[in-house]
Structure 1
Amino acid sequence: MIKTIIFDFGNVFINLDIEGFTQNAFKHFKIDELSEEMMAFNSFYEQGLISTDEFLEFYTENFPKLSEEDLIGIWNFMLKDFPKHRLDFIKDLKQTSKYKLILLSNTNELHIEWIKKNVSFYEEFKNCFDAFYLSHDIHLRKPNRDIFEFVLNKNNLNAEDCLFVDDNKDNIKSANALHINTWHINPETEDITTLFKVKSHLF
């Protein structure tokens, strides 16, 4: 019996264009792939282990032809729309008081600042959750096992009583390893609003 639902943010509530982001970044950086150093800095930033200033400084040093404004635009390119029907879904779910609702997202400071400015109902959305964890705030990131253990321990949860929804296969694997129920949502063909239809056997 599910008592707690843990939601990812990107491609579950807010739409992302990860492929478009990658191609746009490669075009502006004039590269074919991200270097190990770039991937490491991106990971550090996502975990809040370096500041936004340090993150931008790294990229301006490596790509001096691009301004900070250019870099922020490239970094935020993946963020798209947040359909209102998904807000309505989580608000209705909150009102039932049937489940503990948790958001668990790999989200960095630049992305959340963009979302706050461009999603008019962000605070309304955030207030639907009993706990709201962003990777850069808690210095942990998916798919590492410790972020799931953190959520379970912090909220005194039994893994078997939880359902975790995410679009990333590696994140799903980590949750499954801890015996958390999962829904590997496909953002191209599925929508979070069909949760109780798709996973009816769990409820």
Structure 2
Amino acid sequence: MIKTLIFDFGDVFINLDKKGAMQNALTIFEVDTFPDELSQMNHRYEMGLISTREFLNFYMSKFPKLDETIILNAWNCILKDFPKHRLEFLKQLRNDGNFDIILLSNTNELHIDWIKNEVDFFEDFKQCFHKFYLSHKINLRKPNADIYEFVLNQNKLNPNECLFVDDLEENTKSAAKLGINTWNINPETDDVTQLFEVNNHLF
């Protein structure tokens, strides 16, 4: 029996434009492929291992022709709309009281600041969760196993009683190896509000 629901944030609740953001970055940085050095720095920032100032200074030193505003816009353009019906679904879940509800997201400081400013119901959204874990706050990131172990241990959870919802297969595969039930949601065809319809075999 599922007792705990663990949700990702991006492309589960808030819509993302991953392809558009990557193409935009390649154009702005005038590269054909995204360099490993930049990916590694992004991961470090996502884990809160470097500050926002250090992160921005790194990009400005690598691309001196670009100013901070251009870099910020390139970084945040992945973030799109947050359909209100997903918030209402989440509120109903919380009000029903049948599950503990946890957010587990690879989210950095710049992105969460943008969301706080642009999504006027962010605090309502946050209040729906019993625990709200952002990668830059806990210094861990998916798909590394230690982030799932952290959540399980911190909340004394049985993995077989958890359902983890994430749009990236590498993340759900990693969680599944620990015995966690998973739904690899497809943002192009699925909506989180279909949770019980798609996963009725678990409830």
TM-score bracket, normalised by the shorter chain, equals over 0.9
Matched position secondary structure for 2:103: strand
Find the aligned partners of 2:123 and 2:117 in 1 and give their Cα distance. 11
Instruction: Report the counterpart of residue 149 of structure 1 in structure 2.
Output: 149
Aligned match of 1:11? 11
CA deviation profile, 1:13-50 (whole Å, cap 9, x unmatched): 00000000000000000001121211111000000000
TM-score by length of 2: 0.99
One-letter code aligned to 1:153: N
Q: Distance in 2 between matches of 1:69 and 1:92?
A: 39
2:184 counterpart residue number: 184
**CA RMSD in angstroms, aligned pairs only:** 0.4
Q: In structure 2, what is the Cα distance between the partners aligned to 1:24 and 1:16?
A: 14
Gaps of 5+ in 1: none
Correspondence 1:1-203 to 2 at 5 A: 1-203=1-203
SS in 2 for 1:10: coil
Question: How many residues in Structure 1 have an aligned counterpart in Structure 2?
Answer: 203
- C-alpha separation in 2, matches of 1:109 and 1:31: 26
Q: Structure 2 stretches of 5 or more lacking a match?
A: none
2-structure distance, mates of 1:141, 1:102:
15
Residue 137 of structure 1: how far off its partner (Å): 0.2
**Which stretches of structure 1, 4 residues or longer, exceed 2 Å deviation after superposition?**
none
Q: Distance in 2 between matches of 1:40 and 1:197?
A: 38
SS at match of 1:12: coil
Q: Secondary structure at the match of 2:183?
A: strand
CA distance in 1, matches of 2:75, 2:110: 8
Seq. identity, %: 61
Distance 2:45 2:102 in 1: 22
Offset from partner CA, 1:132-174 (integer Å, 9 cap, x none): 0000000000000000000000000000000000000100111
Q: Alpha-carbon deviations, 1:46-88, whole Å to 9, x = none?
A: 0000000000000000111111111000000100000000000
- Take 2:66 and 2:169, find their aligned partners in 1: how far apart are those partners? 33
TM-score normalised by length of structure 1: 0.99
User: What is the rounded CA distance, in whole Å, between the counterparts of 1:185 and 1:40 in structure 2?
Assistant: 26
Q: Distance in 2 between matches of 1:41 and 1:198?
A: 36
The SS at the match of 1:193 is: helix
C-alpha distance in 1, partners of 2:112/2:106? 10
Quick one: which amino acid aligns to residue 52 of structure 2? T
Residue 55 of structure 2 aligns with an amino acid whose one-letter code is F
